[in-house]
Amino acid sequence: MMHFADSLTFSGRKVVAAWAALPFPALSSSSLPDVLSAHQQDVPWKLLSSWREQKVSCCFAQSVVLRGICQEKPTSCPGQPRSPLHSCESPEQVLQQFLHTQFPGAFSTSHVLQQPCDTRPPFPQFFSPLLTRQGFLLDKAQGYSSGGVESIPVLAALQSSPVLHSLLSGLCRELQAPNVRRWSSFFTAGVEQDDFQEALEELKTLSQCYETGFGASEDEADSD
């Protein structure tokens, strides 16, 4: 995972954020272009961190994997205007086109896998009654037997994005708030006060690398 994260970071950045849609919000009768066309204003996945800022409008690099939705011939619903996504020839092209539209200029890789995520026991059954056994959305709730939801479509993403500036700078502020010199047990592992302050400065510098427009380089231009 560390090496994979390294492939998405450059210009001094070292951290990526994990995002997921579990399950991926799709009707069983909808194609992938239909689903993504309904999310033109916002991506259909959420930040897994508990940090309060969970909306991202741009990113520097990302890797996205979608499982469980793999229609060979996407078609728009009756009465719905065709979008550029409906002109794509494969689910992989649909997802890649969506990512380029949402995050223009970002380095993006994407993969679409046919096999969904298995959620049969002992997987916890915390799903909404608005899901079918295959994890697709229903218009209204229906009852299930003890088998529950057996599988779900899932989208997961790793992103290097400006959201990490707020997360890392917030972490830095929280670490600076307490007076660690008053906690004798804080340095029992052998950490010196100077080393602690140096680590805080490195964390602050790292957070600045995620500010929009900060540290733009030829590497980023090449990745575009």
φ and ψ at residue 58, rounded to 5 degrees = -155, 165
d(CA 148, CA 118): 12
Please answer whether residues 131 and 137 qualify as being in contact, where contact means their C-beta atoms are separated by less than 8 angstroms.
yes
Residues 175, 110 within the same domain: no
4 CB-side CA count, 13 A? 10
Task: Pick the last residue of a domain from 160, 176, 198.
Answer: 160
Instruction: Please list the rounded mean pLDDT of every run of 10 residues in the chain (224 residues).
Output: 82 88 88 86 82 72 90 51 81 92 90 93 87 86 66 93 87 80 68 82 91 50 38
Residues 91, 202 within the same domain: no
d(CA 58, CA 212): 9
Residues 85, 179 within the same domain: no
Residues 147, 172 within the same domain: no
- Residue 74's pLDDT is 47
- Residue 97's pLDDT is 92
- Residue 93's pLDDT is 92
Residues 152, 169 within the same domain: no
- Residue 214's pLDDT is 42
118 domain residue, yes or no: yes
Residues 49, 125 within the same domain: yes
141 domain residue, yes or no: yes
Task: Pick the last residue of a domain from 160, 180, 200.
Answer: 160
